[in-house]
Structure 1
Amino acid sequence: MLAAPGGRRGLTICGVPVEVVTRLSRGARVLLVVACVAAEGPALLLDPVVGAPWWGRAAMVGLLAVQAGGMWFLARAPVRAAAVVITAGAGIQLLYPVVGPGITLVALCTVAWLCRPRWSLWVLAGTGMLAALVWLLGRSPTEALLWAAGALLAWSWGELGRTRSARRRAETRRAVLEERARIARELHDVLAHTVSVMVVQAGAAADVFDVSPERARAAVGAIESSGRNAQAELRRFLRTVRPDPGMDDEPQPGLADLTALAASVTRAGLPVALDVDVHTDVQAGVALSAYRIVQEALTNTLRHAHATRAQVAVRLLEGELLVDVHDDGRGMPGRSAAGQGLVGMRERAELLGGRLRTGPDPDGGFRVSARLPLQEPA
Structure 2
Amino acid sequence: MLRNAVRSLWAEPRAPHPPRRVWRDWVLVGLLVPTAIVEGVLHDPLVWRPVATLLGVVFAVALLWRRTHPFAVVAGTFGSLIVLDLAILLTVREPVGLTTMIFVVLLPYALWRWGSGREIGIGTVLVLVTLALGLTVDRTGLVDSVLGSMFLLFPATLGAAVRYRASARVRELDQVRLREREQLARELHDTVAHHVSAIAIRAQAGRVVAVADPGAAVDALVVIEAEASRTLTEMRIMVAGLRADEAAALGPQPGVADLEQLARSTGPRPRVELELSGDLDDLGPSVDAAVYRIAQESITNAVRHARDATRIDVRVAADADCVRLTVRDDGEAGSAGPVGYGLVGMTERATLLGGSFEAGPGPDKGWTVEAVLPKSGAAG
Amino acid at match of 1:204: A
- The answer (yes or no) to whether the contact 2:56–2:101 under 8 Å persists in 1 is no
Q: Identify the residue that residue 330 of structure 1 maps to in structure 2.
A: 332
Partner of 1:19: 13
Shift of 1:274: 1.5
Counterpart residue number, 1:192: 193
Q: How does 1:159-178 map to 2 (within 5 A)?
A: 159-178=160-179
Q: Offset at 1:116? A: 4.2
Hey, what's the Cα distance between the residues in 2 that align with 1:269 and 1:189? 20
Cα 1:80–1:325 change in 2 (3 A) is same
Partner of 1:342: 343
CA offset at residue 311 of structure 1?
1.4
Q: Give 1:111 shift.
A: 0.6
1:302 paired residue number: 303
Separation in structure 1 between the aligned mates of residue 244 and residue 131 of structure 2, nearest angstrom:
59
Report deviation, 1:324: 1.9
SS of residue paired to 1:26: coil
1:120 is paired with a residue of what secondary structure?
Answer: helix
Q: Which runs of 5+ in 2 are unaligned?
A: 1-10, 89-94
SS of equivalent residue, structure 1 residue 102: helix
Q: Deviations over 1:168-206 (max 9, x none)?
A: 111122222222222222222332212211211221222
Q: Does residue 284 in structure 1 map to residue 268 in structure 2?
A: no
In structure 2, relative to structure 1, the CA distance for the partners of 1:246 and 1:263 (3 Å cut) is closer
Taking structure 2 as the reference length, the TM-score comes to 0.80
The change in CA–CA distance for 1:167 and 1:245 in structure 2 (over 3 A counts) is closer
Q: Is the 8 A contact 2:20 2:68 kept in 1?
A: no
Residue type at the aligned position of 1:233: E
- Secondary structure at 1:276's aligned position in 2? strand
**SS in structure 2 of the partner of residue 159 of structure 1:** helix
Greater shift, 366-375 or 83-92, is seen at 83-92
- Other structure's SS at 1:103 match: helix
Aligned to 1:80: 72
Partner of 1:7: none
Give the structure 1 partner of residue 314 of structure 2.
312
d(CA) in 1 for partners of 2:262, 2:318: 20
1:135 and 1:143 in contact (8 A); partners too: no
From the superposition, tell whether residues 41 and 140 of structure 1 become closer, same or farther in structure 2 (CA, over 3 Å): farther
Do 2:241 and 2:248's aligned partners in 1 also have CA atoms closer than 8 Å?
Answer: no
* 1:14 corresponding residue in structure 2: none
Identity %: 28
* Alignment partner of 1:71 out of 44, 49, 63: 63
Q: CA 1:202–1:268 in structure 2 vs 1: closer, same or farther (change >3 Å)? A: farther
Output the CA distance in 2 between the equivalents of 1:78 and 1:248: 44
Residues 370, 126 of structure 1: alpha-carbon distance in 2 compared, 3 angstrom cutoff: same
TM-score in terms of structure 1 length: 0.80
Deviation at 1:323, TM superposition (A): 1.9
Task: Give the alignment of 1:30-45 within 5 angstroms.
Answer: 30-32=23-25, 34-35=27-28, 38=31, 42=35
| Aligned twin of 1:180 | 181
- Residue 109 of structure 1 aligns with which residue? 109
Give the total of aligned pairs.
358
Matched, 1:272 2:264: no
Match in the other structure for 1:57: 49
State yes or no: 1:123 paired with 2:123: yes
What RMSD in Å do the two structures reach over aligned CA positions?
3.5
Structure 1 counterpart of 2:13, one-letter code: E
1:359: Cα distance to partner? 2.6
- Aligned with 2:241: secondary structure? helix
1:117–1:235 Cα change, 3 Å = closer
Query: How much does 1:297 deviate?
Result: 0.9
Separation in structure 1 between the aligned mates of residue 16 and residue 98 of structure 2, nearest angstrom: 34
8 Å contact from structure 2 (residues 290, 349) kept in 1: yes
Q: Give the superposition deviation at 1:155.
A: 1.8
DSSP 3-state at the match of 1:80: helix
2: CA distance between counterparts of 1:338 and 1:123? 50
Q: CA separation of 1:43/1:142 partners in 2, compared to 1, >3 Å: closer, same or farther?
A: farther
Change (3 A) 1:22 1:144: farther
User: Quick one: distance in 1 between partners of 2:327 and 2:234?
Assistant: 23
Shift of the 362–35 alpha-carbon distance from structure 1 to 2, 3 Å rule, reads: farther
| Residues 169/92 of structure 1: CA separation in 2 closer, same or farther (3 Å cut) | same
The 1-side partners of 2:321 and 2:18 are apart by 54
